[in-house]
Amino acid sequence: MAIYNKQNFPVEKVRKYLEPGPVVLVTSQWENQTDIMTLGWHTILEFSPSLLGCMIASMNVSHELIRNSGECVINIPGVDLIDQVVAIGNSHGDETDKFVVNQLTAQPGDVVKAPLIGECFASFECRLHDGALVDNYNFFIFEVVKAHVDPQQERPATLHYTGEGIFRVMGEQILDQHQKFKPEMLI
């Protein structure tokens, strides 16, 4: 597995990578505990501030770490990380060091204490923006405060979960429709 050469990316443009709906790996840290979880339930909520919403079930150790720290990193794996995505999704947070067991590289963030995953092509450092729906729906609203993307990964093959252990893989086909868009819609 490659470690990507990520560079600074505009936080208001993270929808390019998240709106298509890939499975992500969420990293979190609180005191001496670090966790990684697999997540498919997320949505963009706003461009600027760069807001996204994530449903993180309370049975996950990550839920508690994120509640306590108010921070996490959303990392996007390519298809080459399918084994890690499945293994992490089927493990529990306090069993092992998931970085070691899954041969993943923890990299320091610029803003938050939770680590980035070196083997993911994109990592978005997040701070909790609004926790009003956490109690009722486990729904966290985050602000992306720093984004890192490998600029060579324009449209990587990402994993998209359909349930029952089955993932779809994003295809290479692009439909460029920008000429049919009103200028003000081209954001």
Residues contributing to the site for its own copies (CB under 8 A)? 13, 15-17, 19-22, 40-46, 51, 53-55, 79, 82, 86-87, 89-90, 130, 132-133, 136-137, 139, 141, 155, 157, 159-182, 185-187
Nearer to its own copies, 33 or 43 (CB): 43
- Please say whether the beta carbons of 36 and 81 come within 8 A: no
Which one-letter DSSP state was computed for residue 91?
Answer: S
> In angstroms, what is the minimal distance from the CB of 107 to its own copies?
25
> In angstroms, what is the minimal distance from the CB of 123 to its own copies?
18
Nearer to its own copies, 4 or 139 (CB): 139
Nearer to its own copies, 74 or 106 (CB): 74
Nearest to 44 by CA among 77, 22, 70, 67: 22
For 53, 120, 157, 173, 183, the CA distances from 84, given in Å and listed in that order, are 23, 11, 15, 26, 41
Amino acid at 153: Q
Nearer to its own copies, 21 or 70 (CB): 21
> In angstroms, what is the minimal distance from the CB of 122 to its own copies?
12
Q: Pairing relation of β-strands 24-30 and 33-39?
A: antiparallel
For 44, counting Cβ atoms within 10 Å of its Cβ (0-12 exposed, 13-18 middle, 19+ buried), the class is: middle
> In angstroms, what is the minimal distance from the CB of 76 to its own copies?
12
> In angstroms, what is the minimal distance from the CB of 171 to its own copies?
3
| Rounded CA separation 68/71 (Å) | 8
